[in-house]
Amino acid sequence: MDLLRSLPIGLYLEKPITWLHQLDPRVKLIWLMTFLAAPLLANPWWRLGIVGILILLTLLTAIPLRVWRQQMGWLFFLAVVVLILTSFTPDGLAVNSQPRIPDSDLSLPPASDYQYVLFQGKLLNRSPLVVTRRSLELGVRVSTLIFTLIYSTNLYLLTTAPEEITSGLDRLMTPLRRFKLPVTEIVLTLTLSLRFIPLVLEEVQNLIRSIRTRAINWQKLGIKRSLQIWLMVVEKLLENLLLRAEQIATAMDVRGFTSPNEHQVQWNQLRFRQRDWFALGALIPFWCARAIWGGMS
């Protein structure tokens, strides 16, 4: 069991280097904020369109199949499950409608073929299953929001190195230095956090392997002893993580990093290129389409 390969969520893909890797991290961050903000107060069709754009972007980026299949597969399955469960959940409008015209005067043709209840059935001849327009719309909203929120962020982390992320944030947060905000400390903390994720996965992986090699018979132990063992594992995990953090702090202290004034942090030199300006220009038709077709009716 290799968590660094079976669970590559939030890890940087070093090879192959795609055209999305070569974009400026500030441009990718702006597009990430766009994908996170565009579904707000949007209709279901626009939300589904954003999901389609993310999938199309993944295919056009030519990311290896083994990578995005592991990341998109379970997330797509989760979104579908949420869509089904939410669609069959009661919509909260338990109001019986009554026609305003008496039954004897219903000789006029109906104004439209509008149907609020889209599907109605029974589960094992007992529990009724009803899908209404409201429940289906709510299911689309929740499922697409989960997919967009997780996958757009993961795609950004997949194609952007931690140093590039911190460098882009440092450049974008430069105006905040006038308000005496510790921008360098914030960016450095984010860099260490991103670098600490593989260490956490490695520690979890080592502990799981150590438990498997001991061939523990969990059925004979019972619930109480099993919980005691897992509490010991969690305690050991926290101890190892704190030890790693202390080692990182000691290494930084030895290298003389006590404050930005004494140890200047040099990030990557960023500059916009032609493809970056093209990616920024694509935001204009995107938000125009959002204003025209993406609003709620």
Q: How does pLDDT run across 60-70, given as a tens digit for each residue?
A: 888 888 777 77
Tell me whether residue 148 is in a domain. Answer: yes
22 versus 222: the higher-pLDDT residue is 22
Tens-digit pLDDT profile for residues 4-35: 555 555 677 888 888 998 899 999 999 999 99
> What is the rounded average pLDDT of the residues 164-181?
84
Size of the chain in residues: 297
Q: 148 pLDDT exceeds 70?
A: yes
Query: Tell me, what's the pLDDT at 124?
Result: 61
Give SS3 for 162.
Answer: helix
Give the chain's largest Cα–Cα span: 91
> What is the rounded average pLDDT of the residues 289-294?
90
Q: How confident is the model at residue 123 (pLDDT cuts 50, 70, 90)?
A: low
Tell me whether residue 246 is in a domain. Answer: no
CA distance 178 to 74: 44
Highest mean pLDDT: which of 4-13, 171-180, 182-191, 217-226? 171-180
At which residue do the structure tokens 């069709």 appear? Answer: 45
Tell me whether residue 39 is in a domain. Answer: yes
Give SS3 for 220.
Answer: helix
169 versus 109: the higher-pLDDT residue is 169
CA distance 131 to 127: 13
Average pLDDT over all residues of the chain: 80
Tell me whether residue 158 is in a domain. Answer: yes
Report yes or no: 132 and 64 within 8 Å, Cβ to Cβ.
Answer: no
Q: 138 pLDDT exceeds 60?
A: yes
Tell me whether residue 29 is in a domain. Answer: yes
Tell me whether residue 101 is in a domain. Answer: no
Q: 101 pLDDT exceeds 70?
A: no
At which residue do the structure tokens 């140890």 appear? Answer: 263
Tell me whether residue 22 is in a domain. Answer: yes
Query: Tell me, what's the pLDDT at 266?
Result: 60
73 versus 124: the higher-pLDDT residue is 73
Q: 221 pLDDT exceeds 80?
A: no
Domain encompassing residue 169: 3-92+116-218+271-293
> What is the rounded average pLDDT of the residues 247-254?
81
Q: 244 pLDDT exceeds 80?
A: yes
φ and ψ of 160, to 5 deg: -135, 125
Query: Tell me, what's the pLDDT at 9?
Result: 59
Tell me whether residue 233 is in a domain. Answer: no
Domain count along the chain: 1
